[in-house]
Amino acid sequence: MVSPPPRPADDVTLTFGGNATTLLRIGGFTLLTDPNFLRRGQRAYLGKGLWTKRLTDPAILPTQLPALDAILLSHLHADHWDRIATRTLDKGTPVVTTPAAAESLGRRGFRETLDLRPWQRHELTRDGETLRITSVPGVHGPGPLARVLPPVMGSVLELLRGGEVSWRGYISGDTLFRPWLGEVLQRCGPLDVVIPHLGGTKALGITVTMDGRQGADLVELLKPPVTVPVHYDDYDRFSSPLGDFVREVAERRAPGEIRAVVRGETISLRA
């Protein structure tokens, strides 16, 4: 079950649906990320003959969704956008994603696909508030595997009031750690929260998302006050559980707080 929203003072919150699916309430805006509604035991096709089986049930279902201002999609893999999402989501809802995913979703009938290339921005404005979305490059697979896996993006989200940033967060998407991700700070500024996609996902025996060690590298690089890890135990291709990440961060005495979230729970994203 989805927990009730927190007290009104928490104006930036995350409700965790499992895997990389979250419901973000950022000021007056509501975003859904990487919608994945498959049930436990169902399989997601990743392309090139690769499948993965879901090990958990989702904590957010399409019938539970509020009105959405946009859907934020890191990349088009079936554990991030599945057949249930295609069938049930409102095809008039804006989808902010990569050019490759936008093209594919357009063919599926989604009428407002907003394709962002690295460091491009899209803004939503309402009642004196602006939500700015900046696409951040990512690397889903090393070397030749990058040509097999779909293009991926991370996102920096910024809430602006009166022209000033009142909150800034970074969602990594399914990327491996790379030192040039420090460019997030150079281009966008200090972060209030980082939401890394972890799990050490394996494809053809190769790691294609951050494991615990790489996740700790990211925390050391970006130094957020709060880190909310996701994407680590919902599918059978994950090889690095949440405990790996927690242990690495603790051993390094990395800055900030790890704010773990349970499926169905709503937490504040304020420091």
Give CA–CA dist 91/85, Å, rounded. Answer: 10
**The model's pTM:** 0.95
Q: What is the pLDDT of residue 9?
A: 53
- The strand pairing partners of 126, in sequence order, are 129
Q: What is the pLDDT of residue 13?
A: 98
Q: What is the pLDDT of residue 144?
A: 78
Q: Please state whether beta strands 12-18 and 202-203 pair in parallel, antiparallel, or not at all (unpaired).
A: unpaired
Q: Which residue has the tokens 């019938």?
A: 63
DSSP H helices, 173-211, are 183-188
Question: How do the pLDDT tens digits run along the chain, 271 residues long?
Answer: 455 544 445 799 999 999 999 999 999 999 999 999 999 999 999 887 889 999 999 999 999 999 999 999 999 999 999 999 999 999 999 999 999 999 999 999 999 999 999 999 999 999 999 999 999 999 998 887 777 889 999 999 999 999 999 999 999 999 999 999 999 999 999 999 999 999 999 988 899 999 999 999 999 999 999 999 999 999 999 999 999 999 999 999 998 999 999 999 999 999 8
| Local structure of 64: helix, strand or coil | helix
Q: What is the pLDDT of residue 50?
A: 86
| Local structure of 248: helix, strand or coil | helix
Q: With respect to CATH, is domain 12-268 assigned 3.60.15.10?
A: yes
| Local structure of 85: helix, strand or coil | helix
Q: What is the pLDDT of residue 162?
A: 93
- The strand pairing partners of 228, in sequence order, are none
Q: What is the pLDDT of residue 96?
A: 98
Domain boundaries, the chain: 12-268
For residue 264, what are its two tokens? 């169905």
C-alpha R_g of the chain:
17
